[in-house]
Chains A and B, each alone.
Chain A
């Protein structure tokens, strides 16, 4: 039996070492691989301030990351820090009771002028903040300035007619006007939501609270416009971009890319110069009577209540992550802006977007992804994706009826 006993002893010893090693390190989980340099900086800042070792752990793509976090919470084994989403996603998370209430840290940050109360509202649930801001982004249309010049377009379009005209000119000049990837388990919602809120912002909001159906006239209009745009060849083929969302924009195939301005850093990384090679404009609504709106995205880092109670020193780590130095690390490494009022804007594009919004005073809307109930998020995105791969009127009808049946099923069970 001695061999068996030896094996058993080695096994037990290994289990104990592995077990204790896992307990000593605290994790900062993220699904945002392109920001790893900045996230590592945040983890280091938190480690230095708290005395604990905080290590970055990444899981991609987004849908797998969410699944991992959900089992962590169900298994009562929540990481100390993890990135999350605001809106409905944060409400669902806070309802489980695992997230720490960060009121004292926000009070301090507002008092010393790092953040404003308006910004705190982005991560509030029932009036209390449950997140450290990691990213505050405006959703804008990026455009390739060289393409616009070659196609003879005077400047960024300011209404829908000008936008269509610009697309036609780009098409004539040999470019695909718009980059339309369908990757990551979430990107199909980009143009769906843009065209619905361009039709009627109230319907856009209504979709996410169950008061507007996914086959209502405004959605039908959005799908009709979307299908027309595909028919006219405005979009890249999602088959061509695969999992790499920016490929067809940075390689000069397509001229425009509607996405959050957190993406600007990776365009620069790929060799484009912010402000010289590419600029931004606010995407106009479908008709002049519809109010101009802009999607504001805010991603929080959530802190585990259990971890914070077990190790109160982690609070110093929270403070460090909200400080101006942490904000500048994010800005300088990955050009992400977390909203810190004392921090420098990471690049000219993000600075310019702040001005665009300040001048146009659009209606600010929560992103569809954050606003929609998390239980049906994935199914709805899949139905939108099916349309992008097969943009026919028949598929539009099918996608709308699929989405509405999922949506109705969900709200009926509430």
Chain B
């Protein structure tokens, strides 16, 4: 079939025809996609009906039935809050995640600066050393960390827990910031240096402002990682005063199942609020962070 592709009218018709075909095909596609989406959302629907049920109501009704009123969520939340010390645990996790992610990104940024903007001898070697920290599965850290922490008395302390989170969260931001710092032109800091600015000034007022976007995205990723952590806290800091919110949530599920699923499910909702809010508020940076994660 000979077609003259320089004929603009022909091409335009073709594109229009295809669009129409897509749109009509699209209408039919909505049905299976809708069905699948409903199935997909059932667990979340279950979450939302369950938090409004009392234990008695939960036992009496079908699991997917609607609750009688909205009121029981308060009692469920109070029970989760008091029995599992969820509030205390949430405060712990919040401080770990906030301080940990800030320090990790700050240390990574400083290191990235030292490796890319300064004449560091063996910069690549230093980078590889830190990068090695992303290669091993967490399971290889656990036993030695617990043993070492026992020996120096850091086990079950807020500070000890924080140190591990900071260390774990350094290598990945370093990898990303090393790329973004080296893409900033050399003239920026050379000019500042000629004017007599110290390296610290150059770092803080020239380089960091040029990489705020990636740094916020990295902070969000590391904050979420620390908030979500169960593994490290369950081993290194599971005392009531220092344990993370995920450990508290898990203890609620394990030890007190007599409470009924409504309380446990309410606790899962409470424990998810901060990361969900952050996600909604900073969606742009979050999506950017996801793409960081794939590069």
A residues apposed to B, CB below 8 Å: 1, 3-4, 7, 11, 14-15, 18-19, 22-23, 33, 57-61, 64, 68, 71-72, 74-77, 242-244, 247
Contact = CB atoms under 8 A, between A and B. Distances in A.
Which 5 pairs between the two chains have the least Cβ-Cβ distance? Answer: A75-B150, A75-B151, A242-B257, A244-B257, A244-B258
Contacts of A247: 257-258
Contacts of A68: 238
B255 A75 contact: no
Contacts, number: 62
A253 B201 CA distance: 72
B157 interface: yes
Given A18-B159, A60-B251, 16 more contacts: A1-B200, A3-B200, A57-B156, A57-B239, A58-B240, A60-B254, A71-B146, A71-B147, A74-B147, A76-B150, A77-B151, A242-B257, A243-B253, A243-B254, A244-B255, A244-B258
B137 interface: no
20 contacts: A4-B110, A18-B158, A22-B153, A22-B157, A57-B239, A57-B240, A59-B239, A60-B251, A61-B254, A71-B155, A74-B150, A75-B146, A75-B148, A75-B155, A76-B150, A77-B153, A242-B257, A243-B255, A244-B257, A247-B257
Nearest to B110: A4
Contacts of B150: 71-72, 74-77
Contacts of B153: 19, 22-23, 77
A397 B8 CA distance: 79
B161 to A, nearest CB: 10
B151 A76 contact: yes
Contacts of A59: 238-239
B241 to A, nearest CB: 9
Nearest to B160: A18
Contacts of B155: 71-72, 75, 77
A9 to B, nearest CB: 14
Contacts of A72: 150, 155
B239 to A, nearest CB: 6
Interface in B110-161: 110, 146-151, 153, 155-160
B105 interface: no
Contact of A244 (B149, B240, B256): B256
Nearest to A74: B147
B74 to A, nearest CB: 24
Contacts of A71: 146-147, 150, 155
B148 to A, nearest CB: 8
A258 B111 CA distance: 62
A300 to B, nearest CB: 22
A11 B166 CA distance: 12
Contacts of A64: 234, 238
A72 B257 CA distance: 30
B217 interface: no
Contact of B255 (A7, A22, A60, A77): A60
Most B CB within 10 A of own CB, among A64, A74, A77: A77
B103 interface: yes
A269 to B, nearest CB: 11
Contacts of A19: 153
B253 to A, nearest CB: 8
A95 to B, nearest CB: 19
Interface in B222-247: 234, 238-240
